[in-house]
Structure 1
């Protein structure tokens, strides 16, 4: 049985390298949710987001979606501000960093050019319940939010990617000896985000678990810490972020699904083809690897970069 907590992650990554990426003191961000007190943006991160490609003008002009972004001068991103590994806002500077944040910033620079990718995105906080709505009503241009590709979601929006693969995993309070993985959740109360892929995954893997729905990730974590639920199921990548800032929580067992992350885009536009071309470019030139090393790899203390999933390879990501 695998058990991951804050101490084992800090030991794995090394105290100095972890501190260079994030600090674990709680604070409140612009969206009113708890987040880390500070994020020290390292030179590796800045180098990764500024070394990516810039699309030729004719490539941008050939896409109606990219041309609209170009005219606006900013990429309107739906995302989060509280995920320490994927998208975290530094309250002192307002800058957002992490794996998803970096991808959005590199995409913005790919379209707009410029020397400061941080200044090229405008972030709107989304939840599992609001992601599709904000894309459908045109409030955001793209969603970067550990967004699992599913055929059901693809009926409403388009997905570029997948660009990363994770899996559902189980979080409990330290000292819980009854829950050791998904196969021990029967009869126990389990927090899930409403509208997320976690509920359907639990329906299959642990149908006798008693699901309790909450709106946001931070609500689920708070409910677990307060003892309102006995476990929380969500993407393993998000749980890695969570245990870094919560001494009393541990991940138990292994991920029990394969969850491919995609970039949410407006359906019926030409955005999917444009963004898939962008993903192919950053995977080919090493930018994707550099982003992984500066974010996920830095936290885990690993330099061996995984191979990204094949673009268009999962149901819901097929090209139009």
Structure 2
């Protein structure tokens, strides 16, 4: 893409319209995502300027006549099911509501560039239980919403990807230099969320760890900062969001369980699925995927950049 707008990521083009409907939820969150602007947004914006300027654009021959991508191109915007309250994933700037940033939000804009040559996106915030309906009735073209790929869901919608793997990860106080991940939790006091997968996963990985549970994510974070536990185990994306908004904690290591997220698409649209998967392969090979991860989720994680998940690697994808 040859557009050379230095503030491309800070100010989404006027064509982006945020459609406020339904509740806001990301499937990996317990609803406690911290609202407000992302403290790392300015730094992330600067680091992605070149990514946007040089984003890959599909060849005209790839926009097949009568296809979903042709309809999107004719319309002039990509309609995306995407949260507005998920820090580091898709967070709306309260001081500039047209500005939505994060891993999901940036990838959605890059997909729009691939189809349209410009990041023209309209956002429809979904609730977890409405994502299938939004795709089935054509309200949205795609869903970027920490949408876990399952075989059951794949009977109702299609999934491109996976494009991101999450799972349980470890957070510690920001001054902790001893714990680097799950392997260091033997004999430690570990905070978990009540009724979350961590309740059973931690003892399976570290039988000598002692577990203390808290009802909500804010309570667990407070307990960690107060020293009532050595570490906090929770979903990676939620911990990264917590760390982005609270300098008192940090995420260490990569997730030690796997939950694969896919891009939701209309069911049985093989042409569009192939098109989106081809785009994912291109942005993974040219380093775009890694740069977006580093500027968003990676900004709150004390570990190396992970490899992108293999396309079609999980049942339902």
Please report the TM-score for the alignment, with normalisation by the length of structure 1. Answer: 0.66
1:286/1:204 CA distance change after superposition, 3 Å:
closer
Query: Structure 2 residue aligned with 1:68, among 53, 66, 71?
Result: 71
Q: Give the C-alpha shift of residue 310 in structure 1.
A: 0.9
Q: Paired residue for 2:136?
A: 136
Q: Paired residue for 1:47?
A: 50
Aligned-residue RMSD, C-alpha: 4.0
Query: Structure 1 residue aligned with 2:89, among 74, 77, 86?
Result: 86
- The C-alpha deviation readout for 1:257-298, integer Å capped at 9, x for no partner, is 211111111112232111001111111222212212222233
Please tell me whether the aligned partners of residues 38 and 87 of structure 2 are also in contact (alpha carbons under 8 angstroms): no
Residues 1:245 and 2:245 aligned together: yes
Q: Give the C-alpha shift of residue 147 in structure 1.
A: 1.6
Distance in 1 between residues matched to 2:273 and 2:70, nearest whole Å: 14
Q: Give the C-alpha shift of residue 172 in structure 1.
A: 11
Residues 1:104 and 2:105 aligned together: no
- SS class of match (1:46): helix
- The C-alpha deviation readout for 1:193-244, integer Å capped at 9, x for no partner, is xxxxx6xx979989xx9x999xxxxxx64687899xxxx9863122211243
Q: Which runs of 5+ in 2 are unaligned?
A: 1-9, 11-19, 25-33, 174-183, 204-210, 224-231
- SS class of match (2:111): helix
Please tell me whether the aligned partners of residues 161 and 279 of structure 1 are also in contact (alpha carbons under 8 angstroms): yes
Distance in 2 between residues matched to 1:152 and 1:170, nearest whole Å: 29
1:83/1:191 CA distance change after superposition, 3 Å:
farther
Q: Paired residue for 1:292?
A: 293
Q: Paired residue for 1:266?
A: 266
Distance in 1 between residues matched to 2:301 and 2:233, nearest whole Å: 21
Work out the number of aligned pairs and report it.
263
Distance in 2 between residues matched to 1:105 and 1:90, nearest whole Å: 16
- SS class of match (2:113): helix
Query: Structure 2 residue aligned with 1:113, among 107, 113, 117?
Result: 117
Q: Give the C-alpha shift of residue 85 in structure 1.
A: 1.5
Greater Cα shift, 277-286 or 102-111? 277-286
Distance in 2 between residues matched to 1:134 and 1:190, nearest whole Å: 31
Please tell me whether the aligned partners of residues 243 and 300 of structure 2 are also in contact (alpha carbons under 8 angstroms): no
Larger RCO of the pair (alpha carbons < 8 Å, separation 6+): 1
Q: Give the C-alpha shift of residue 42 in structure 1.
A: 2.4
- SS class of match (2:314): coil
